[in-house]
Structure 1
Amino acid sequence: MSREMTAAVLYGKEDLRLEQVDVPRPAAGELLVRVEAALTCGTDLKVYRRGYHAMMLKPPIPFGHELAGVVEEVGAGVAAFRVGDRVVALNSAPCDACFFCTHGQQNLCEDLLFNNGTYAEFIRIPARIVEKNTLRIPDGVLFEHAALTEPLACVVRGLEESGAKAGDTMVVIGAGPIGLMFMDVARSAGVRVIAVVKRADQVETARLFGAAEVVRLDEVEDVIAATRALTPAGRGADVVIEAVATPMTWEWAVEMVRKGGVVNFFGGPPSGTKVGLDTNRLHYGDITLKASFHHTPATCRTAFELVTSGKLKCAEYITGRVGLDAVPAVFARMMTRNGSSREIKTAVFPHGVPAEVTR
């Protein structure tokens, strides 16, 4: 006889519903995980706003992709995990057999397997993710902190692709959760960070996560000039990370980097978006342009080590804690927030907010 659970299901644009659905049963090689903490994410908000994600999900479908939990059931043939293990299960796993996987680009896997449905009491973890991208959480690490692994893994890959090293100057455009993670990881690596932010409330937050200098858009006439003025000799930053996803900020990034520097277009604008770049500056300035998408098993493990080692400001990312019943309202609020308070990530606890993390 099947059990039922509560889950948030996305039906389309801004249409997120709580429903009673069957608790999935793990097949061979799979796990059933009791979700202890799931986190809101900018990607989830983008999907909620658009009603779909071409690669990750098509509605109606269980929603959410950042989680940590406890193994509830173990499918046949699983030897690496047992009931009661505390785990992070990533939201995807590559095939390791296609052209891109065999050329060191697992994030571009032609058969990248995604998994969604973390805003629920339980989630089934497919065998490939169990094998390649499920990690055991050390004792003493909070579930809500461990769940930061997935977005952080994307940031780690972006930073690695940018080649930033200790002593470099990096500009991060944007102070959403991803921009803040770039600041945090860069700070921990000895990189000097200049943050470019939009709102007054983001100034203090950017400094909290490691920005040495902050440029606020409404306080300067020329954001490019103001940012370059904070770099050594005004020559521009060694690395610029674009984490806003608009044509304007993509163009700013190219103007803020020094000759011979690297720009990482991390923010992904909608399909069909075009930008205008100064080809003379790119060519004669010997500027490298990169774009980073998703993560790899290796960067997932690097991110997990950063989280579990205490090197990052994990507690500061969690600015709200709610039960599962509040998820639709949380996303509706995220669509209309006005920046009057610091809001980064909300932790969702499907089985009730634990007393030890209640504030």
Structure 2
Amino acid sequence: MKTKAVRLYGELDMRFEEFELPELGADEVLIRVVTDSLCASTYKAVKQGTKHKRVPPDIAERPIIIGHELCGDIVAVGDNIKDKWREGQKIVIQPALKLESGYDPGYSYQYVGGSATYCVVPSIVMERGCLIPYEGDNYFGGSLVESLGCVLRGYKGFYHTDYSNYVRTDGAKKGGKLAILGGAGPMGIGAVELAFGYAGVSQVVVTDLSQERLDYAAAKCSPETATKHGCKLTYLNTSNVEDPVKLLKEISDGGFDDVFVMVPVPALFTMAEEICREDGCVNFFAGPAVHNMQGSLNLYRIHYDGIHVVGTAGSIPEDTVDTIRLIEQEKVDVGAIVSHILGLRAVPDAILAMEKPGGAKKVCYTGIDIPMVAVDDLEALGKDNELYRELGKIVKKNGGLWCAEAEKYLLENGPKI
């Protein structure tokens, strides 16, 4: 059968195309992709082309489908695995296969990726346990599982030590204080949602240099909501603060137990150590685009105060399953992370626009043909467009957040690709 997809042929060379998929193998699954959330990691792959570690060297002749945060339905199942999977089953893909080659869906394969209407899932995905059932009442939440799963893995990466017996406890400190530096972007908002929906911390401080981004984050994930979960949430613009370390230590009454660094800036890494209290843990979560980024720490504090540093990248199937459970149990509101919706044709421009990021997660509805639209703009755009007018009404009724009802209306009434 034919699919429509955005394929990568080289550096910054993305093409929206229609082409024939190969015949389904006995150990493969054919899926209809409904949603794919755009990720900055895709922008890195598009910008670097074959220089990217996950992108094969022959994409000029064998282009790959981009996009790795997908959710959809199984359309057909190969003969050898009909006892494991069924047609109509809603699924997500955990894209981190952890292969020696480094190859993953959305970066490395010709026929599987999120920026497509249909794709063929190769047997290796099932063998690695990376095709995972999803029972949420929407598709966009399934597409956000991968990015939230990475943040969840970040929380699991924190650890603390009881120095009276050197017993180590994994995870952010329960009832502790958490700082999210450079945290008003999509991953930071996800970290805030998980702070009280999963980690159970008592205080969260989110810093950023952009008041616009902070205002957006506060509107989508408010201090009032955090209070209902027993957590004190503060958004702080440090751009004009003379001594941010001093202020952060004052706000936290002496320092933080756990600190996320969400932007790959060495100065933030140093600040993270400085605002830690004893046994504090820093997660350098942001992925540098260069291989030789250097940062400094106070080694005295590492030795005497037990300050420690971790770095987490990506997630594993366990995190995907755990994230799905959190979404299904409504422990996190995935609508808070969605800032834009778009159709498949709009993907190339949306990816290139990530050079100057804005908003939070952009969710592509692959079977729909619309430009990229901000969720916050739907009501205004509705003055001249019936589709946007109805979507705006639904979103407004849901506190300004994208939701399952809005998605259902879009899928039923949006122009088809």
Q: TM-score range by the shorter chain?
A: 0.7 to 0.9
> 358, 368, 372: which one pairs with 1:352?
368
Matches within 5 A, 1:160-239: 160-162=156-158, 163-174=171-182, 175-188=184-197, 189-191=199-201, 192-207=203-218, 208-209=220-221, 210=226, 212-232=233-253, 235-239=254-258
> 265, 270, 275: which one pairs with 2:295?
275
CA distance in 2, matches of 1:300, 1:284: 37
Residue 355 and residue 84 in structure 1: after superposition, are their counterparts in 2 closer, same or farther (change >3 A)? Answer: closer
1:22 CA displacement: 2.2
Unmatched 5+ stretches in structure 1: 95-108
Matches within 5 A, 1:98-109: none
> 288, 308, 327: which one pairs with 1:307?
327
Residue pair 1:265, 1:289 contacting (<8 A) in 2 also: yes
Residue pair 1:254, 1:263 contacting (<8 A) in 2 also: yes
The answer to whether 1:82 aligns with 2:115 is: no
Q: Once the two structures are superposed, what CA deviation does each residue of 1:321-349 show, in whole Å capped at 9, x if it has no partner?
A: 11101111212333235x5xxx2111111
Residue 44 (structure 1) aligns with: 42
**Equivalent residues, number:** 336
1:231 CA displacement: 0.7
Please give the secondary structure, in 2, of the residue aligned with 1:351.
coil
Please give the secondary structure, in 1, of the residue aligned with 2:80.
coil
Residue pair 2:28, 2:123 contacting (<8 A) in 1 also: yes
Residue 109 (structure 2) aligns with: none
Please give the secondary structure, in 2, of the residue aligned with 1:274.
coil
Residue 125 (structure 1) aligns with: 121
CA distance in 2, matches of 1:33, 1:45: 24
Return 33-42 or 18-27, whichever deviates more.
18-27
Residue 73 (structure 1) aligns with: 76
Aligned letter for 1:318? V
CA distance in 2, matches of 1:294, 1:9: 23
Aligned letter for 1:75? G
> 86, 96, 114: which one pairs with 2:104?
114
Residue 105 (structure 1) aligns with: none
Residue pair 2:96, 2:314 contacting (<8 A) in 1 also: no
Q: Once the two structures are superposed, what CA deviation does each residue of 1:288-325 show, in whole Å capped at 9, x if it has no partner?
A: 11111211221111111112221111112122111101
Aligned letter for 1:89? I
Aligned letter for 1:169? K
Residue 102 (structure 1) aligns with: none
> 241, 256, 270: which one pairs with 2:260?
241
Please give the secondary structure, in 2, of the residue aligned with 1:119.
coil
> 58, 64, 68: which one pairs with 1:61?
64
Residue 23 and residue 305 in structure 1: after superposition, are their counterparts in 2 closer, same or farther (change >3 A)? Answer: same
CA distance in 2, matches of 1:134, 1:260: 38
Residue 310 (structure 2) aligns with: 290
CA distance in 2, matches of 1:212, 1:119: 36
Greater RCO (CA < 8 Å, at least 6 residues apart): 1
Residue 169 and residue 70 in structure 1: after superposition, are their counterparts in 2 closer, same or farther (change >3 A)? Answer: same
- TM-score for the superposition, normalised by structure 2: 0.75
Unmatched 5+ stretches in structure 2: 107-112, 159-170, 227-231, 370-406
Give the alignment's Cα RMSD to 1 decimal. 2.2
Residue 352 and residue 9 in structure 1: after superposition, are their counterparts in 2 closer, same or farther (change >3 A)? Answer: same
CA distance in 2, matches of 1:54, 1:299: 25
Please give the secondary structure, in 2, of the residue aligned with 1:80.
coil
Please give the secondary structure, in 2, of the residue aligned with 1:77.
helix
Residue pair 1:39, 1:144 contacting (<8 A) in 2 also: yes
- TM-score for the superposition, normalised by structure 1: 0.86
Aligned letter for 1:327? V
The answer to whether 1:323 aligns with 2:343 is: yes
Q: Once the two structures are superposed, what CA deviation does each residue of 1:29-49 show, in whole Å capped at 9, x if it has no partner?
A: 221111000001122223333
